[in-house]
Amino acid sequence: MARLTGTGLVADDLYLMSHHEVTGRPYLHHRAIGVGLAGALLAELVLAGSIRIWPEGVAPAGRSLPAGELARSVLALVVSERRRVPDWLAFLARSAERDVARRLEHEKYLTLAGSRRPWRTGRWVPVDPDCAFAPLFRAQAALDPGKPVTVAGATLAGLATACGLGSRLLPYGPKGARRWLDETVRQLAPDLRELIAQTQAATDSLLLSQRV
């Protein structure tokens, strides 16, 4: 059953933020959403203490296993071979939107609505618009020096801005929100900062090579 507190997973919150809370329509190009969600899936593993991220790549951090089938399959994948973060972002981005939507569907946050046009596939639509809008408030805390912010909330806000959701998020913050967000992200652990920077670079690369 959907709750206002959400699933507690960064990728789930980012998915809901990047789609309209009523219609389920995306706010960004699908490739950009994919890159953002790929970053969020890796961030979940960092937050769970399962992996470390370096400028050169991804490395297993210990024995702690993340909760959930999707996170465990991503973990098994990224520790199976040595690759740079941009490669993992590109690879995971291919299916991240669908994978996270299925996870949210399983948790009853989304439902697959059929299309009236037979040649088009259906669209995932939020079950409860309030629950779908709530992640925006969790990320909003990172924009306001007067509010307590969690590491997950700061990571969510950083990744959202990196993949192009800044114009959706920042209007909900006070004056100077962008500067405070930058400051909040600067205080994150080095591997989360690296991940956010790599996600931003991957999105910019898509934009400058006309792929979004």
Partner 1 sequence: MSKVQSQRTRPSHVSRALAADRLGIPAVLFFVLAGVAPLTVAAGVIPTAYQTTGLTGIPAAFIAVALILAIFAVGYVAMTRHITNSGAFYAFISKGLGRVAGVAAALMALLSYSCLQVGLYGAFGPGAAAEAQAHLGLHAAWWVWALGAWALIAVLGLLRVDITGWVLGVLLTAEILVILAETVSGLVHAPGGHIGFGTLSPADLTSAGLGTFGVLAVVAVLGFVGFEQAPVLAEEARNARRTIPLATYLALGVIAVVYAGASWAMAVHAGQSHVVAVAAKEGPGLLFGLGGGFLSATAQLLFLTSLFAAALAFHNVVWRYMYALGRENVLPAALGRTGANNIPKTASLVQSATGLVVICAYAVAGWQPMSQLFFWLGTTGGFGILVLLALTAVAVLAFFGRDSHGEGAWCRLIAPALAAILLTLIVVLAVLNYPTLLGVGKGDPAAWEFPASYAVVGIVGLGWGVLLKLRRPEVYATIGLGAHAATGQLASAVDEVRR
Chain positions contacting partner 1, by CB under 8 A:
27-29, 32, 55, 77, 81, 83, 87, 90-91, 94, 162, 164, 166-168, 186, 190, 193-194, 197-198, 200-201, 203-212
Minimum separation from the CB atom of position 62 to partner 1 (A): 23
Closest approach of Cβ 204 to partner 1, in Å? 4
Quickly count helices (H) and strands (E) in the chain. 9, 4
* Shortest distance (Å) from residue 73 CB to partner 1: 13
Q: What are phi and psi of 190, to 5 degrees?
A: -55, -40
Q: Which distant-in-sequence residues (6+ apart) come within 8 Å of 67 by Cβ?
A: 48
Closer Cβ to partner 1, 6 or 36, answer by number: 36
Of 102 and 168, the one with the shorter C-beta distance to partner 1 is 168
Nearer to partner 1 by Cβ, of 127 and 151: the residue is 151
In angstroms, give the least distance from the CB of 3 to partner 1: 28
Cα–Cα distance for residue pair 103/66, rounded to 1 Å: 14
Q: Least distance to partner 1 from the beta carbon of 177, Å?
A: 13
CA atoms within 13 A on the CB side of 177: 21
Distance CA 117, CA 121 (A): 8
Between CA 106 and CA 185, with CA 78 as vertex, the angle to 5 degrees is 80
Of 72 and 193, which CB lies nearer to partner 1 in the complex structure?
A: 193
Nearer to partner 1, 25 or 116 (CB): 25
Cα–Cα distance for residue pair 177/147, rounded to 1 Å: 12
